[in-house]
Structure 1
Amino acid sequence: MIEEFERCYRAVRSRDARFDGWFYTGVTSTGIYCRPSCPAVTPKRPNVRFYRSAASAQASGFRACKRCRPDAVPGSPEWNVRADLAGRAMRLIADGTVDREGVAGLARRLGYTERHLGRVLVAEVGAGPLALARARRAHTARLLIETTEMPVSRVAFAAGFASLRQFNETVREVFAASPTELRRGKGRGGGGSGEISLRLPYRAPFDAGGLLRFLGERAVSGVEEYVDGVYRRTLRLPHGVGAVALSDGGDHVGCVLRLEDPRDLGVAVERCRRLLDLDADPLAVAEVLGADPIIGPIVRRSPGRRVPGSVDGPELATRAVLGQQVSVKGARTLAGRLVALCGEPVPEALSGPGGGPGYLFPGPGAVADADLEALGMPRTRREALRELARALADGGVVLDPGVDREEAGRRLVGIRGIGPWTASYVAMRALGDPDAFLPTDLGARRAIERLGHPGAPASVARLAEGWRPWRAYATQYLWASLESAVATKESEERGVVA
């Protein structure tokens, strides 16, 4: 514990932003808690307490620092890496499960009793499910107060509070200010009518442009678009539908949301963060991959690459099956046909002033009932798609943030027509598994061959053992290196590069 204290205190003393979100600093002499990079005077050692979560700091009686705003930091990357009960629970709480289904619903999803789940979370992060959900609600409330003109009375219920009294007490306790005082001090976060404009933080370095281009190259007509560096898409959310525009803001990701129901703000933000892998620790990834003799030079040339995620697990799985054994362009075409066949139109107001994507990607029930012959796919793949849709619709396959990744993989490959490549791709992008790997992937094998290593699947799998636990990131670097090589060759053929 002394060694851990010293490590954390050194990070606070040097104001090291790399540790923001990993832990929080409570200062007994002031009664506030801060992020490690807070610019305030470093507190004396006897006055410092360290906490694994904002919720545990709040439960110990500390209020949020108004100067460094510790709730506005990337989430801990630990919960993306861990596949144990605590990690799965933290991902579900971030997705709003406690607000929608209560602690009983959270425990039921995870397959444990409420009592055992509470013991595990208190031991791991210093707070139980209710306290963690309360901290999340407080953060959502502050976002609504500061970025919208919504009446404060509506903010309370939109943020998930059961009563105005509970809302007022929590905001005062966490932020040492009333909701009205927070609104008086708000910045100019709001956009046009109906828009909520936010700045999504991340840990540098971050190749935002590369990630947005990746998503843009795979954008499905009607659901997504990528224009002038801005990626837009529709969102299927617990209480309604929404639309988002994401862009590179330099030191943050610009996020403009339009929501049918403001109660979905916290969930929408969390899903956008998962889509862009904003809670990742790029330095931890670079430490392992950058030292590798094969892939290291690529990593060092292009630091900060992320693993593109997903805003909806069933959607990603459906698109993965559509993309089996076809090119990226072919997969886009098939997905566009599916949207035209059974996609759900969204309210026109969500498209924004300049228009934009107007459909939700079809849900599993719609896909299961659709006439898939119209897609122009081989019969075996149509049947695999239909069987997947039925399994997703009836709960035979679950692809939410808290699912057991290994169990989900076993159930996917149990569907005829879905093999290890598809299951690993879904684990990588829909379930956020940082160690998911595709040794049979043609693109990864070609990239490895270009680096002078045999590209046979068995050889690739052995090589990748040294990349654990970041093999999903290694895959992104391999794919990007292949695309870069193609682009360089085309430029040389045009005489652009000497």
Structure 2
Amino acid sequence: MTGLEGLDAASCYAAVKARDRRFDGVFWTAVRTTGIYCRPSCPARTPAAGNVTFHPSAAAAQGAGFRACKRCLPDATPGSPEWDVAAGAAGRAMRLVADGVVDREGVDGLARRLGYSPRHLTRLLTAELGAGPLALARARRAQTARVLVETTDLPLADVAFAAGFASVRQFNDTIREVYALSPSQLRGRRGAATASAGGISLRLAVRTPFAGQALLGFLAYHLVPGVETAGPGWYARTLDLPHGPGTVRVDLDPALDEVPAGGVAMVGAHFRLTDLRDTTAAVERVRRLVDADCDPLPVAEHLGTDPVLGALVRRTPGLRLPGQVDGDETAVRTVIGQQVSVTGARTVGGRVVAAHGRPVETGEPGLTHLFPDAATLAEVDPETLPMPRARGRALVGLSAALAAGELALDRGPERDAVRAAMLALPGIGPWTADYVAMRALGHPDVFLSTDLGVRTAFRRLGLEPAAEIARAPLWSPWRSYALMHLWQTLMPDPPRPEDD
């Protein structure tokens, strides 16, 4: 067993005996006598300890010759929270594989983004995850295909290409090998799929508790007109994807907040895509947006003992760190928001979108543009931007670095290297670099000690900001979540029916 940090075979088996859902997506259990691999919480009878092996990825189990359990669907789990906590090369690679980089750019492209040779990357991933990049990408394609087969009415040939397979034959062979069923049998086993009304409707697994209403409130409060919109129980936005534009509507039903802790809830997402090949990328980016791979229980256990944060954690269990669908967009929006109110940043952001964003026909009220890409903003005269000149120059300089590839916010490079590259740009200070690390790179351990909102939150709690900020190191490695709990005390309520 390799790549299972902090877990030995006895600990893994104890989790399997307890059917502990907290370990779903952390490791996978394979049973020698049946040739099947499962998630730890599989409801089937617990196999004898001598008959099981443990694997750090679904791809590793598949590579060892095991097929997926038809009962617990072990490939349909949230990803490992360690991908963002440790953010090592393997975790960063998994983020890019999930985005479809191997399908679009091959192993060479993945290795280039991570700063390794293809051969060294393959050795590293095999040691950490039990499978190389091709096997990891194949497992991701199989999982995407299964979800599309079972939950949409797409023709099977369309499913094959939407999932990233190069041919229908490759799709058929892989599905048979991984699930021991043909694609037609897989669809028939679940019954007729529901028509998707011109799009693809999927469910995204998240660990519970899941504070969906708080997430909706944050996204709605920060939305940029033309690119995003929100209403009671939902959030929608445009997507600038590798093969064309798209949209997503995320269903954040209040009932999600009531799902018991220690389990898995399903967040609905309805996609409209110009090109079905963007399905994998679109799903992964929305998963980042809702912080789907977070394990809220260790976060709550650590922060819940703090004399100040404990009450906030209990008030909003399962609070997420809102992510992003495009790192470049997040960085530009962060610069726009420097030293202005959230309302002011929304207004300026909307004006920048109207002037420089790409108009798109979405059929969704309020969604009219893609956010301007870095190459477009790099050519803008800073004097024409609706902001102070120094900030306008910083925005254009940042965009130029992004467009030239001098700065990458795709979660491939190491976080420290990204921060250093950002701080080297004119007009980019620690607050901006750290906010981008938190939102764009999914860094769970960032604390913005100079943030005005943090200081306001402490004062509203009747506390002295300087004294509390000095205690922030105690909240590591979850300082980003501590920050979100403080900001949550300042957030307006999420959209209500009368607001729609």
Q: What TM-score comes out, normalization by structure 1 length? A: 0.92
Q: Deviations over 1:139-189 (max 9, x none)?
A: 121123223333323322332222333221110011110011112234565
1:492 aligned residue: none
Q: 1:256 aligns with which of 270, 276, 284?
A: 270
Q: 1:366 aligns with which of 368, 376, 390?
A: 376
Q: 2:483 aligns with which of 464, 472, 475?
A: 475
1:155 aligned residue: 159
Structure 2 CA distance for partners of 1:3 and 1:183, relative to 1, 3 Å: closer
Cα separation, 1, equivalents of 2:323 and 2:20: 27
Amino acid at match of 2:371: F
Structure 2 CA distance for partners of 1:191 and 1:338, relative to 1, 3 Å: farther
Deviation of residue 48 (structure 1)?
1.1
1:427 aligned residue: 437
- The question of whether the paired residues in 2 share the 8 Å contact of 1:443 and 1:479 is answered with yes
Gaps of 5+ in 2: 257-264, 494-500
Cα separation, 2, equivalents of 1:51 and 1:112: 24
2:498 aligned residue: none
Q: 2:426 aligns with which of 401, 416, 426?
A: 416
Structure 2 CA distance for partners of 1:403 and 1:188, relative to 1, 3 Å: farther
Q: Deviations over 1:356-382 (max 9, x none)?
A: 412100101111223454443111111
2:321 aligned residue: 307
Name the SS of the counterpart of 2:8 in structure 1: helix
Matched, 1:351 2:355: no
Deviation of residue 197 (structure 1)?
0.9
Structure number with higher relative contact order (C-alpha < 8 Å, ≥ 6 residues apart) = 2
Matched, 1:377 2:387: yes
- The question of whether the paired residues in 2 share the 8 Å contact of 1:82 and 1:88 is answered with no
Name the SS of the counterpart of 2:471 in structure 1: helix
Cα separation, 2, equivalents of 1:153 and 1:211: 36
Cα separation, 2, equivalents of 1:451 and 1:126: 48
Structure 2 CA distance for partners of 1:182 and 1:246, relative to 1, 3 Å: same
- The question of whether the paired residues in 2 share the 8 Å contact of 1:445 and 1:460 is answered with no
> What percent identity do the matched residue pairs reach?
58
Q: What TM-score comes out, normalization by structure 2 length? A: 0.92
Amino acid at match of 1:390: A
1:286 aligned residue: 300
Cα separation, 1, equivalents of 2:207 and 2:192: 24
Correspondences of 1:193-232 after superposition (within 5 Å): 193-232=197-236
Cα separation, 2, equivalents of 1:164 and 1:376: 50
Q: Deviations over 1:52-76 (max 9, x none)?
A: 1100000011111111111111111
Name the SS of the counterpart of 2:225 in structure 1: coil
Amino acid at match of 2:295: D
Amino acid at match of 1:351: G
Amino acid at match of 1:465: P
Structure 2 CA distance for partners of 1:44 and 1:432, relative to 1, 3 Å: same
Q: 1:316 aligns with which of 327, 330, 334?
A: 330
Cα separation, 1, equivalents of 2:250 and 2:344: 25
Gaps of 5+ in 1: 488-498
Amino acid at match of 1:426: V
Cα separation, 2, equivalents of 1:367 and 1:419: 20
1:442 aligned residue: 452
Correspondences of 1:321-340 after superposition (within 5 Å): 321-340=335-354
